Amino acid sequence: MLSHARIWAAIDELAARYGFSASGLARKSGLDATSFNRSKRTSAEGRDRWPSTESIAKILAATGASLEEFMRLVEPAQGPARSTIPLIGMTQAGAGRFFTEDGMPTGGPGWEEVEFPDISNEKVFALEVAGESMLPLYRDGDVLIVSPSATVRKGDRVVVRTNAGEVTAKEVKRRTARSVELRSLNADHPDRVIPMNDVAWMARVMWARQ
């Protein structure tokens, strides 16, 4: 079972495996040195603080460890359950006929699939990045695991498809009942404000395979 204690224990074990302290791993990952301190793992009110998926992705990039290696540390006895999920490209994502109303791919003959640890109840699919519009965070060929059913908050990275078929990946600056403000991941591309009635679906980026 995925738990707060096991996630943090896995981060500590991964740090030790690659010769880092918790603070050293945080610095290597481009985070504040105190990000992984034990005192930061619970709030002043005693609530559990979970590491973000972005932080875990940065840890994996910094160490060169795979998601599978990390998940084996989370569940050392038998590893997490796995499932296959559809893998689509940006062009397919722009085609509305390939998606249900809730933003999930409909699938079809010849569609590719990838394995992914079954770590939540969220609906997920894999999206292959095309082009350079998401640099420097995501590169051409990277695979994003996204969920159209996950709750989206300020600061989350999301993939948005408009009713016109445009697909873009950005960071949520602000969201209201009428619109969503998106910060570009690439300085060469402008920020966007999209009316909610123009959004076909919005999926939160859960993981990135690079």
Task: Mark whether 50 and 87 lie in a shared domain.
Answer: no
Task: Mark whether 168 and 100 lie in a shared domain.
Answer: yes
Average of per-residue pLDDT across 2-25: 87
Residue 67, domain extent: 4-74
The CATH number for 44's domain is: 1.10.260.40
Question: pTM for the complete prediction?
Answer: 0.59
Which DSSP helix (H) or strand (E) runs through 6? helix 4-17
> End of a domain among 32, 50, 74?
74
Which pLDDT belongs to residue 104?
79
Number of folded domains that form the chain: 2
Task: Mark whether 45 and 88 lie in a shared domain.
Answer: no
Which pLDDT belongs to residue 103?
78
> End of a domain among 45, 74, 103?
74
The CATH number for 164's domain is: 2.10.109.10
Give pLDDT tens digits for 76-116: 655 555 667 888 887 677 766 667 777 777 765 556 777 66
Task: Mark whether 87 and 10 lie in a shared domain.
Answer: no
| CA dihedral (59, 75, 150, 111) positive or negative | positive
DSSP-derived secondary structure for 26-80: HHHTTS-TTTT-GGGSB-TTS-B-PPPHHHHHHHHHHH---HHHHHHHHSTTT--
Task: Mark whether 8 and 90 lie in a shared domain.
Answer: no
> End of a domain among 74, 93, 110?
74
Task: Mark whether 137 and 194 lie in a shared domain.
Answer: yes
Which pLDDT belongs to residue 19?
81
Task: Mark whether 105 and 159 lie in a shared domain.
Answer: yes
CA–CA gap between residue 147 and residue 144 (Å, rounded): 10
Which pLDDT belongs to residue 176?
93
Provide the 3-class DSSP secondary structure of residue 25. helix
